[in-house]
Structure 1
Amino acid sequence: MVSNHDEAAAVRPLTLAWVNWHLEVGERVVRTEALQGGITADMRRLTIGTRDGGTRDLVLRSFVNVEHAEDWLNREADALALLTGTGVPAPGLVAVDPTATHCEYPSLLMTHLVGRTVLDDEGLETRLPLLARQLVAIHAVRPAVRPREYVAWTTAGTVVVPKGADTAAWAAAIDVIRRPAPPYEGRFLHRDFHPGNVLFDVPPSSPAGPRITGVIDWAQTSWGPADLDVAHCSTNLALLHGPAWGLRFAEAYEEAGGVLASAASERLYWQVRDALAFSEEVQLVAQPWREAGRTELTTRAVEARLDVYATALMDALG
């Protein structure tokens, strides 16, 4: 995520009092930074002055006028608590106020992870297997209490066919998601796993290469098929880096030890369902990418990539 230091970074009074309540004795907030890159939440990095004269960082996540804020924050808090000690590099939970009992808005306070999101085309060949291995590790988590069942993000009746799209391919794709969902073996899902929610340490000219330092934004945590998480990351890769990369991710996931649906028709269902869901929110998805420096990813450019990707899915898997 990208930071800035303007007045928007200021923490509101009730929220600041709540944050202070959860600090160690003698600690105080000495700096705040607004973090850009999220779609639904306001994010701020808080630099905390410690008693010994040092500092540590926390992240404050607040939902302003978001309908599902309570549910999402409860799910994220549960996920962060669950992931502690699992080896999955997620933030640590400090405190949560899902109903804005103490804060101006529903909020969550968590530890800050080092690293940054990397959305550039350069180096993707190296990062792709790292993403795949990380997702396999997430799916290996076995929670004592399952999160709620996944919710589909689109229906056949709400798909928005892009202008100039291959209408025959899109009609066939829409027919795919009219069918009942295939049976599946449930897994612990991140549900919004993609490069924008993965932090990397990318040391300059290091022979060790990049490594993943964190996975963030666990508000959509669900129970469902591994194929659904893989499909979601695949669509993001297709729109960010080109359709060929989206088609490659499932293979990388299996090479990392992940298990997907055995039947091609079942894989197609999940891949198509996720791709078509993006048709309804291309502008919303593309804007944070442009703010992060991918200025060429206009809404129209992303729509065009979505069309090519959806058509390629139907050609390759249909």
Structure 2
Amino acid sequence: MLNHDEAATVRPLTLAWVSRHLEDGERIVRTEALLGGITAEMRRLTISTRDGGTRDLVLRTFVDVEHAEDWLNREARTLPLLKETSVPAPELVAVDPTAVHGEHPSLLMTYLAGRTVLDDEGLETRVPALARQLVAIHALRPAVRPREYETLTTADTVIVPKGADVAAWTAAINVIRKPAPPYEGRFLHRDFQPGNALFDVRLRTRAGARITGVVDWVRTSWGPADFDVAHCSTHLALLHGPEWGVRFAEAYEEAGGVLAAAAGERLYWRVRDALAISEEVQWVAQPWREAGRAELTTRAVERRLDAYVTALMDARG
């Protein structure tokens, strides 16, 4: 029997498409909605196997998302590449980027053990683990590079939160009015942050927390390592406080990562990512609340974003 909870139910055509990619004698026996997705519906599918056991797959479905085809094609190209590396990522099973076979663009992949951890406890061990993992991602040198990074935020699209430090935000907006600084290209995840890292919560080693998987490769790009670091820093600042945004950049370098040599260049990428979040605070905060961080209302996250932007601008000296 399928789980017919509305959020978990797979639409009929998509269900038939998934079934065609199962082994002979296998069938879907349970579906479960996975929390945390912002743009995609995520479902865990439990499959009964011929030997009487079970295995799990994950179905990502985009509903009325403008860039669905591009994003799914990027992930479909990236996952096979990662299979040959030490970076823990799902394996591609099938992709339907233009909804030829199902109701909506979808991608089917293997399930990774572990879970996202968004609370404050244990953060001092998770941050170094995240930094080490990002250094490993940036070390990848694929034979065919992904496309150059994109950013849509401009000085005119930034949304200054109510009650924010106007002087700090004005200075920050002026930073991104300038051209992007030169950089040495790296393989980027482009959405590397705690919500896309899975941890083994059962095991605590002397080295600290252990990452079992990195997911959501739909924005894979080529660009400056600083941009990925800035993105994770912003999320950590909003989840746990501005000081953790600063700490992540330090942890990245401690793990062997190389950032821009000039302080002004580092500031550019950190400010650009923080200002980009200003346009989507409510969308970022919602899955955090669904995951148990009820105190992270849109207004609370706006206040943390203001504190982080102010701290970045104050650090200029």
Q: Distance in 1 between matches of 2:231 and 2:209?
A: 22
Query: 1:182–1:41: structure 2 CA closer, same or farther, 3 Å change rule?
Result: same
Q: Which range moves more in the overlay, 121-130 or 146-155?
A: 146-155
Question: What do the CA deviations read for 1:26-61 (whole angstroms, capped 9, x no partner)?
Answer: 111111111111000001100011010100000000
Aligned-residue CA RMSD (Å): 1.3
Q: Distance in 2 between matches of 1:265 and 1:198?
A: 29
Instruction: Say yes or no: does 1:249 pair with 2:263.
Output: no
| Contact in 1 for aligned 2:285/2:296 (Cα 8 Å) | yes
What is the correspondence of 1:194-233 to structure 2 with a 5 Å cutoff?
194-203=193-202, 209-233=208-232
Q: Structure 1 unaligned runs (5+)? A: none
Question: What secondary structure, in the 3-state scheme, does the structure 2 residue paired with 1:100 have?
Answer: coil
What is the one-letter code of the residue matched to 1:167?
A: V
| Contact in 1 for aligned 2:203/2:209 (Cα 8 Å) | no
| Contact in 2 for aligned 1:153/1:274 (Cα 8 Å) | no
TM-score normalised by structure 2 residue count? 0.97
State percent identity of aligned pairs.
81
| Contact in 2 for aligned 1:42/1:63 (Cα 8 Å) | yes
What is the one-letter code of the residue matched to 1:279?
A: S
Match of 1:263 in 2: 262
Q: Distance in 2 between matches of 1:200 and 1:60?
A: 20
Q: CA deviation at 1:85?
A: 1.9
What is the correspondence of 1:131-280 to structure 2 with a 5 Å cutoff?
131-203=130-202, 209-280=208-279
Q: Structure 2 unaligned runs (5+)? A: none
Q: Which range moves more in the overlay, 177-186 or 12-21?
A: 12-21
What is the one-letter code of the residue matched to 2:280?
A: E
| Contact in 2 for aligned 1:39/1:285 (Cα 8 Å) | yes
What is the correspondence of 1:45-60 to structure 2 with a 5 Å cutoff?
45-60=44-59
| Contact in 1 for aligned 2:129/2:208 (Cα 8 Å) | no
| Contact in 1 for aligned 2:80/2:92 (Cα 8 Å) | yes
Q: CA deviation at 1:317?
A: 3.4
Match of 1:10 in 2: 9
What is the one-letter code of the residue matched to 1:174?
A: I
Q: Distance in 2 between matches of 1:68 and 1:306?
A: 27
Q: Distance in 1 between matches of 2:234 and 2:205?
A: 30
Q: CA deviation at 1:232?
A: 0.1
| Contact in 1 for aligned 2:203/2:210 (Cα 8 Å) | no
Question: What secondary structure, in the 3-state scheme, does the structure 2 residue paired with 1:9 have?
Answer: coil
| Contact in 2 for aligned 1:187/1:223 (Cα 8 Å) | yes
Q: Which range moves more in the overlay, 255-264 or 197-206?
A: 197-206
Question: What secondary structure, in the 3-state scheme, does the structure 2 residue paired with 1:7 have?
Answer: coil
| Contact in 1 for aligned 2:78/2:217 (Cα 8 Å) | yes
Q: How many residues align?
A: 315
Q: Hey, which bits of structure 1, 4+ residues long, moved more than 3 A?
A: 204-209
What is the one-letter code of the residue matched to 2:40?
A: A
Q: Distance in 2 between matches of 1:38 and 1:300?
A: 20
Q: Distance in 2 between matches of 1:244 and 1:166?
A: 18
Match of 1:296 in 2: 295
Query: 1:5–1:289: structure 2 CA closer, same or farther, 3 Å change rule?
Result: farther
Question: What secondary structure, in the 3-state scheme, does the structure 2 residue paired with 1:267 have?
Answer: helix
